[in-house]
Amino acid sequence: MAAVAPAPVAARAHKLTEAQEGLWYAQALDPANPILNTGQYLDLRGPLDLPAMREALARTIAESQALHLRFRMGEDGPEQFLSPQGITPRIVDLRAHPDPEAEALARMRADSDRPLDLSAEPLAAFTLFILSPDRHLLYERIHHLAIDGYGMVLVTNRIGEHYGTLTGAGPVPMPLPPYQRAHDENDAWLASDRRAQAAEWWRAAMADLPEVTGPNPGRAVSGHRFIRESRWLPADIAASLEQVATRCKLGWPDVLTALTGAYLARWTGGDCVIGIPFMARMGRKIARLPCMAMNVLPHRIRPDEDMPLDDWLALEAATLREERRHGLYRSEYLRRDLGLVGGSRRLYGPLVNVQPFDRAPVFAGLTVGLHILGAGAVDDLTLTFRGDPQSGILFEVDANPALYTAHDIAGHSARLPEFLRAALAAPSLATVPTASPAEIAATEQVNATAHPVPDTTLTALIEAQMQATPDAPALSHGDQTLSFADLDRRSAALAAKLSALGAGPGGIVAVALERSLELPIALLAILRAGAAYLPLDPDHPAERIARILSRAQPAVVLSAPDLAALFAPGTPLLTTPDWPTTGAAPATPAAPDDLAYVIFTSGSTGEPKGVMVEHRAIVNRLLWMGAHYGIDASDRILQKTPASFDVSVWEFFLPMIVGAELVMAPPGAHRDPAAIAALIRRHAITTLHFVPSMLSAFLAAPASGGLALRRVFCSGEELTADHRDRFHQRITAELHNLYGPTEAAVDVSYWPAAPDDTANPVPIGWPVWNTVLEVLDDRMRPLPPGLAGNLYLGGVQLARGYLGRDDLTAERFIPDPHRPGQRLYAAGDLARRRPDGAVVYLGRSDHQVKIRGLRIELGEIEAAIMATGLARETVVLAREDNGGEKRLVAYLVPKADYAQGALAAKLADTLPAYMVPSAEIALSALPVTSNGKLDRKALPAPEFRAGGRAAETATEQLLARLFAEVLHLPRPATAEADFFALGGDSLSAVRLTLRIGQETGRDPGLGTIFEHPVLSAMAAAIEAHAQDDGLGPLILLADGDPDAAPLFLIHPAGGISWGYRHLARLIAPARRVWGVQHPGLDPQTALPENLDALAREYMQHILRLVPDGPVHLVGWSVGGIIAQALAVELAAVGRKAGLVALLDSYPADAWRNEPDPDPVAALRALLAIAGHDPNAHLDLDSREKVVAFLRAGETTLGALPDPVLDGITRLVTDTNRLVRGHYHRPMPGRLTHIRAALDHAGENLGADMWQPYAGEVEALAVPFLHPQMTSPEASAMIAPELVRRLDRY
Amino acid sequence: MTLTLEQMRKDIAELIELDPSEVRDDDVLPDLGLDSLRLMRLVLAWEEAGLTADFGLFAEYSTLGEWWREVVLPAQAV
């Protein structure tokens, strides 16, 4: 076919109309984006008159001038003009193609996906695909700048009209108007004062817009394609729609728009702004003109869901009418007027597009189907309804694939019709669930967790186990182990005493004990007396303990003598010395519905809440866990969770009911990664628990590397995908994410966070036995997957309620609206379901926060602040200002007697340490929003900064830097900065110790941080520590498996062995690596008689650590000479050396006949110790110069206090004496020599010099100089060689 | 059957919930709340009453007076 040119052609260029501007800029920003190619095809069935179709296309193309538009950048901005080039409609005969329809669709897709050159090629294309004699597809593609949806309808209908005329079936159609009318209408609108009025109306109507988003958050900018799900609205829904519209005397499109908006509002907290495509042709001379004219009207929907449906629909329709009256004002301008341009700010979210005109056109003698391929950009979601209730409504969900998955849109496509069906039949929206019936049924499947569990008590299960395996180990603490028979005996004796003191079923006995053997005995004894146990944390303030005791009124309080001061006079204490050792368990068994324990959690009223858990609940939880994870008598479970935290319940009792061994961690060990790792290794722990933030610190600690155990459970706070992935990189074990509040017997859900799990976020997963998880909205209606709501828990594990607080119990334990007679617990957590039904935790929904697994009611802290009398008003927030770490900040309007910092001291008397805010900020008034609510966003971020002098000494400067790093401070801390006042907590303290360890090579110990939180004091303590430990005869260079034979690294000439820290860390944690240091570092200590005497002294230290097995020795330089001498001494006492490796050491014979080195030369050996090449610094020829050089560098040696440097200097000189006076004796076994191969040019030094002094010499070499042998680079080459040889022993 | 100006005024007023006296010949109908969907319903009703006229042609004008003069009279004159 020939090209069809427009008639007539106007040569003049025009500015763009307002309607085109936005599109032009969108396309100019992304010229390669084809999404503005709007397209559709007609499926024509029947005998087509091909010549008539050709002519109909030619006539339509000729008279639709917009199709011939081109766009270019002119001097005053973009402009458009009509091209005389013409458009050639194409006819493609696919009759011979094996799959002509698929081929046609592929060609359409290829054409639509091609970005156009708007200045140089036609914006429109028409192709008729011949599939068969009776089937043709007519494809139309026009760029959005030239056409809008209604314009496409006009063009398409036009082809049909001409076809009708040409086949003799219809009259000659009225001519189409000229494109000039688009300019005329635009000019008229620009000149009209209605434009300014409309702008004003919209500004007022859209004031106070919420932050606009769609169902899925994210940056809503259209990509190059969209994804679609389409289906026909079921006929009954279309019929109801028409009925309701008629009943309300409204247009059905308005009813459909409003209800679709109500559905969308459900996804954004009941308030949304939808975009409504508006034809913008009504009453204008462009009504019949194919062109781009449409606008998008923002329409806010926040339904009053209690309002009768008809009233609400009428209100919506009235609003829509007003908006259409002002609908010519462009939304692009309104967006600008409202300051919503840029970033993620938006005027509207999803589009709701009801297209009653979008019906298949008429082609005489043919059956016609209409298929829309693309209608422009899809920024977010576009919900389109094409057709009308009589002829059927096609429902399309188009979505931006950057924001929505295919799963998401399939969900909306299936769910929205169900919502419409329910809403159209409902008295009000309040009764309409967002979840579809199919989704509600799927949730019921997930919650079908019924599983038989014996109706018994925890006590009965434990007693049965104690009977079954009396000789098996039940309980270990340190070196002590009790069998189940021991546990039986001791707990029975104490139970008898408790019973005698009045404890029994229905009663409570409190326990305040540090972790010890006595603690689990006490808990079991209480259960055996039939009472419920109430754990108290001995670290909590006496005042809080007193409040708990006054509410709980325990019959007895079990404690230890050193904790007695925690209790008020008159408390019925029974301390450990008074516990009996004999006696029979009383015959007062608890029933399954008696209480097993009462655990107090933080309460919003300022009063802790006692959660009462019955035997039946905890039995379900424990039997599930034992069965689900196959935990049995071969397991050893670590008890490290404080008893007042309900995770401890399974740690204590699961081993007792499956016959496993319970290993008690020492008090305080739960905060110390190195201690935990050592416990795991020492006791071959198979199962333990971490709060995720502690797991994170544990994974960061060197000691956790390479651990292997059966399973690790996490709960208490959110386990992140990062935690999971780091865990599996470092530790060989199963990882399980559990979730549950104290109010539902520890945990109610589980998720295996396996190495191949890629879920992010990590779900809390699936309900345990006899448990339901419900995600409901604020009206207790079920929610679909993907939509966040409140998490409710139900089933056998629910607690009885709060002790003595029926009011709070009634508030949180509510009747299940969907299961008559059952209760639900409102967890206070936000959650959503994944499509597979697994639940994902999203955070707290109320004023509770969780900090490191501890649930904190901010209200309780606020009540405590008010109780101090220092504040008139207060609010406490958990802020994440720095580095994503949550810290509590108290804001207060102070009373007269308040002084900065006064609060924390007072609060420490009444609140546990984890609840004392890290910062307090005094304000003259709390900021409020315009509607009088507290304006949380206006509360200033705290400056965790202390005044005072700047850090001075090297250690202080190091700490100043590390404080800032660990606490995310903007600048180094000052010398008077208090680590905890700056926002530090126990977790960041662990991090600080790790960092100090990395920087100095010495672990300062967590205790140092807690004892000396002020920077200058901490620095002094660390320095003192360095003198005590760092310069002692043995220092632990790197911690490792205590059960493996350790490696000893012998100091070089200066007497210190810190230089080995790189090497040590590459060998640990498979074994511990110790540095052996010269006792003469202390100037008060006499120097050794000779080298053999020194070796013998070292042997004494070493054998204390290695009572049997091989002793592994490595030494560099002089250290190697000593190592060889040590091996000789070991053999003399009947012990064997294992690995004896000498790093570039040579026998004394090589030096003996050399002239004495001068004192300065000896000093310069210090340079080598510090890692410098002494020959590169020949200018350093005096002690002062050497010391100054070392001080200037960032070496540990340079940071040493003067006396220590003096000691080293003394030893460097003295060691020369020792070596020259040493005569080697032969050692048995192999000597491994590692030569610094780049050194010793011109010197006749080699491994073979050791031949006379060893049973066998193995010679290795590495490409370094002698001074570099302990550098990180050399260590990286040497360590694997040493490890390979160590592994042979 | 012939469509009259007053019948049209009555139909329009009913659809936009006004009294016929409030729909004057030169009132801008979109400003009174008449949108394309309501116009569609009007045109369908008038077609059933015997009028042969294009929806698009009505939409090109914005007042009842124009509709009568430019669309209905010429159509009924045929």
Does A539 or A445 have the greater pLDDT score? A445
Place of tokens 């004496």: A1217
Is residue A605 over pLDDT 60? yes
Q: What was the pLDDT predicted at A31?
A: 84
pLDDT at A796: 97
CA distances from residue A1027 to A951, A1048, A1061 in whole angstroms, order as listed: 21, 20, 17
- Residues above pLDDT 90, as percent of chain A: 58
Q: Which of B18, B26, B60 to mutate to test the interface with A (most CBs of A within 10 A)?
A: B60
Q: How far is CA A121 from CA A62, A83, A86, A478, in A?
A: 16, 9, 10, 84
Active-site positions of A read: 1266
Concatenate the DSSP letters of all residues of A530-573 into one string.
Answer: TPEEEE--TTS-HHHHHHHHHHH--SEEEE-GGGGGGS-TT--E
Q: Which residue of A lies nearest to B66 if distances are taken between CA atoms? A: A283
The fold of the A848-921 domain, in CATH, is GMP Synthetase; Chain A, domain 3 (3.30.300)
A62-103: per-residue pLDDT in tens?
A: 999 999 999 988 777 789 999 999 999 999 999 999 999 999
Across the range A601-628, mean pLDDT stands at 91
Q: Would the CB atoms of B59 and A281 count as touching at under 8 Å?
A: yes
Dihedral pair phi/psi, residue A669, rounded to 5°: -65, -25
Beta carbons of B57 and A287 less than 8 Å apart: yes
pLDDT at residue A343 tops 60: no
Q: How far apart are CA A1234 and CA B44, in angstroms?
A: 100
Q: Could you tell me where the DSSP H helices lie in A149-232?
A: 149-166, 180-191, 193-205
Q: Would you call A288 and B56 a contact, using CB atoms and an 8 Å cutoff?
A: yes
Q: Is the peptide bond before A8 cis (omega within 30 degrees of 0)?
A: yes
Per-residue pLDDT band for A471 (boundaries 50, 70, 90) equals: very high
Instruction: Please give the pLDDT value at position A1202.
Output: 66
Which two structure tokens, joined as six digits, stand for A414? 């299936």
Q: How many CB atoms lie within 10 A of CB A803?
A: 25
- pLDDT band with cut points at 50, 70 and 90 for residue A1158: low
Across the A:B interface, residue pairs with CB atoms under 8 Å apart total 54
CATH hierarchy code of domain A458-671: 3.40.50.12780
- For residue range A687-741, what is the model confidence (pLDDT) as tens digits? 999 988 788 888 888 889 889 999 999 998 788 888 899 999 999 999 999 999 9
pLDDT tens-digit readout, A274-287: 999 999 999 999 99
Q: Does A254 touch chain B (CB under 8 A)?
A: yes
Is the pLDDT confidence value at A537 over 80? Answer: yes
User: What was the pLDDT predicted at A1243?
Assistant: 77
pLDDT tens-place string over residues A821-870: 999 999 988 899 999 999 999 877 766 677 766 667 787 788 788 888 88
Is any Cβ of chain B less than 8 angstroms from the Cβ of A288? yes
- Ranges in chain A annotated CATH 3.40.50.1820: 1031-1286
Tokens standing for A662? Answer: 């319970």
A946 has a pLDDT exceeding 60:
no
Confidence (pLDDT) at A645: 92
Q: Do A325 and B31 touch (CB under 8 A)?
A: yes
Q: CA A611, CA A614: separation in Å to the nearest integer?
A: 10
Q: For residues A1068 and A1044, is the Cβ–Cβ distance under 8 A?
A: no
CA distance A808 to chain B (A): 53
DSSP type of residue A717: S
CB < 8 Å to B37, chain A: 251, 253-254, 356
CA distance A318 to chain B (A): 9
Q: What is the mean pLDDT of residues A315-329?
A: 93
Q: What is the pLDDT of residue A1196?
A: 54
- In this complex, do B30 and A251 lie within 8 Å of one another by their Cβ atoms? no
State whether A288 and B54 contact (CB < 8 Å): yes
Q: What is the CATH number of domain A14-183?
A: 3.30.559.10
Mean pLDDT of chain A: 89
Confidence band (pLDDT; 50, 70, 90) for A1030? low
Task: Quote the ipTM score.
Answer: 0.92
Q: Over 70: is that where the pLDDT of A1203 sits?
A: no
Q: Which two tokens stand for residue A548?
A: 């708990």
Does residue B62 sit at the A interface (CB-CB below 8 Å)? Answer: yes
Return the residue matching tokens 């925890």: A458
The pair of three-digit structure tokens given for residue A416, joined into one six-digit string: 């929205």
Tokens found for residue A766: 């699936």
Q: Are A752 and A734 spatial neighbours (Cβ–Cβ below 8 Å)? A: yes
pLDDT band with cut points at 50, 70 and 90 for residue A230: very high
- Contact B40/A at CB under 8 A: yes
Spatial contact of A429 and A423, defined as CB atoms under 8 Å apart = yes
A154 touches chain B (CB under 8 A): yes
Which CATH code for domain A771-847? 2.30.38.10
Residues with Cβ within 8 Å of residue A986, at least 6 apart in sequence: A671, A852
- Shortest distance between the Cα of A299 and any Cα of chain B, in A, equals 16
Order of all β-strands in the sheet with A367-374? A90-93, A124-132, A135-143, A37-45, A367-374
Mean pLDDT of the region A882-903? 77
The helix (H) or strand (E) run that includes residue A614 is strand A609-614
- Structure-token pair, residue A1059: 């230089």
Q: CB under 8 Å to A1204, separation ≥6 — which residues?
A: A1026, A1027, A1031, A1081
- Are the CB atoms for A1038 and A1089 separated by under 8 Å? no
Do A254 and B37 lie within an 8 Å CB cutoff?
Answer: yes
Taking residues A38-56, report their average pLDDT.
97
Which residue range forms the structural domain that includes residue B39? 5-77
Ranking A421-430, A471-480, B40-49 by mean pLDDT, the lowest is B40-49
Average pLDDT for A139-161: 96
Express each pLDDT in A118-127 by its tens digit. Answer: 999 999 999 9
Cβ(A699)–Cβ(A735) below 8 Å: no
Beta bridge partners of A232: A394
Residue A1204 is predicted with a pLDDT of 67
CB-based contact (8 Å) between B78 and chain A? no
Query: Is 80 exceeded by the pLDDT of residue A248?
Result: yes
Within 8 A by CB and 6+ apart from A187, the residues are: none
- Chain A environment of B29 (Cβ under 8 Å): 283
Determine which of A377-386, A585-594, A603-612, A646-655 has the lowest per-residue pLDDT on average.
A603-612
What is the identity of the amino acid at A923? L
Query: What pLDDT does residue A857 have?
Result: 74
Which CATH number do you get for residue B33?
A: 1.10.1200.10
- How far apart (Å, rounded) are the C-alpha atoms in residues A837 and A592? 32
Residue with tokens 């009663």: A507
Residues sharing a CB contact under 8 Å with residue A896, sequence separation 6 or more, in sequence order: none
| Phi, psi dihedrals of residue A7, rounded to the nearest 5° | -135, 125
Closest CA to A1096 of A1081, A1116, A1076: A1076
Ranking A605-609, A621-625, A1022-1026 by mean pLDDT, the lowest is A1022-1026
**Higher per-residue pLDDT: A945 or A263:** A263
Report the interhelical angle of A692-700 vs A721-730 (nearest 10°): 40
Task: Answer yes or no: is pLDDT of A493 > 70.
Answer: yes
Residue A115: burial class (beta carbons within 10 Å; 0-12, 13-18, 19+): middle
* Of A393-402, A977-986, B20-29, highest mean pLDDT: A393-402
CA nearest neighbour of A1123 among A1281, A1278, A1249, A1231: A1231
Query: Which chain B residue lies closest to A279 (C-alpha atoms)?
Result: B36
Give B14 to chain A, closest Cα distance, Å: 10
Q: What is the predicted pLDDT for the residue at A96?
A: 95
Closest CB to B30 among A253, A286, A325: A325
State whether A282 and B34 contact (CB < 8 Å): yes
Which of A195, A255, A282 is the best residue to mutate to test the B interface, defined by the most B CB atoms within 10 Å of its own CB?
A282
Among the listed ranges A124-138, A381-395, A662-676, A788-802, which one has the minimum average pLDDT value?
Answer: A662-676
Residues from chain B contacting residue A359 (CB–CB below 8 Å): none
pLDDT tens track for A1078-1104: 888 777 778 888 999 999 989 888 887
List the single range of A184-188, A248-252, A920-924 with lowest mean pLDDT.
A920-924
Give the rounded percent of residues in chain A with a pLDDT score beyond 70. 93
Give A1110-1130 pLDDT, tens digit per residue.
Answer: 999 999 999 999 999 999 999
Instruction: Choose which CATH entry (3.30.420.40, 3.40.50.1820, 2.60.220.10, 3.40.50.300) describes domain A1031-1286.
Output: 3.40.50.1820
Chain B residues with beta carbon closer than 8 angstroms to that of A286: 60
Report the alpha-carbon distance of residue A353 to residue A395 in Å, rounded: 10
Out of A283, A288, A357, closest to residue B28 by CB? A283
pLDDT-derived band at A342 (thresholds 50, 70, 90) equals: low
Q: B29 in contact with A at a CB cutoff of 8 Å?
A: yes
pLDDT at A634: 97
Residue ranges of chain A assigned to CATH 3.30.559.10:
14-183
B30 contacts A282? CB cut-off 8 A? yes
Report the predicted TM-score, pTM, of the whole model to 2 decimal places: 0.70
| CB nearest A282 (choices: B36, B54, B63) | B36
Rounded Cα distance, A176 and A155, in Å: 10
The whole-number pLDDT of residue A1163 equals 66
Above 60 in pLDDT, residue A1029?
Answer: no
The domain defined by A205-355+377-443 folds into Chloramphenicol Acetyltransferase (3.30.559)
**SS3 per residue for B38-77:** HHHHHHHHHHHCCCCCCHHHHHCCCCHHHHHHHHHHHHHH
**DSSP 3-state assignment of A1203?**
helix
Torsion of CA A1017, A1023, A1024, A1027, to 10 degrees: 180
Q: Which two tokens stand for residue A706?
A: 């390479």
Question: Worst-scoring range by mean pLDDT, A231-235, A612-616, A994-998?
Answer: A994-998
Under a CB-based contact definition with an 8 Å cutoff, are residues A1165 and A1053 in contact? Answer: yes
Which residue of chain B comes nearest to A285, CA vs CA? B60
Q: How far is CA A160 from CA A123, A124, A131, A279, A594, in A?
A: 21, 18, 19, 22, 81
Going by C-alpha positions, the residue among A287, A305, A327 that lies closest to residue A148 is A287
Task: For residue B61, list chain A residues with Cβ-Cβ distance below 8 A.
Answer: 283
Which pLDDT does position A1159 carry in this prediction? 64
Which residues in chain A touch residue B57, judged by CB atoms under 8 angstroms apart?
174, 287-288
Give residue A948's pLDDT.
Answer: 67
Tally of domains within chain B: 1
Given a cut of 60, whether residue A461 has pLDDT beyond it is: yes
Radius of gyration of chain B (CA): 11
Chain B residue closest in CA terms to A321: B33
pLDDT at position A1185: 76
Q: Is B37 on the interface with A (CB under 8 A)?
A: yes
Note whether B38 contacts A281, CB cutoff 8 Å: no
Q: What is the pLDDT of residue A1206?
A: 74
Q: How far is CA A594 from CA A429, A586, A588, A1289, in A?
A: 43, 16, 12, 57
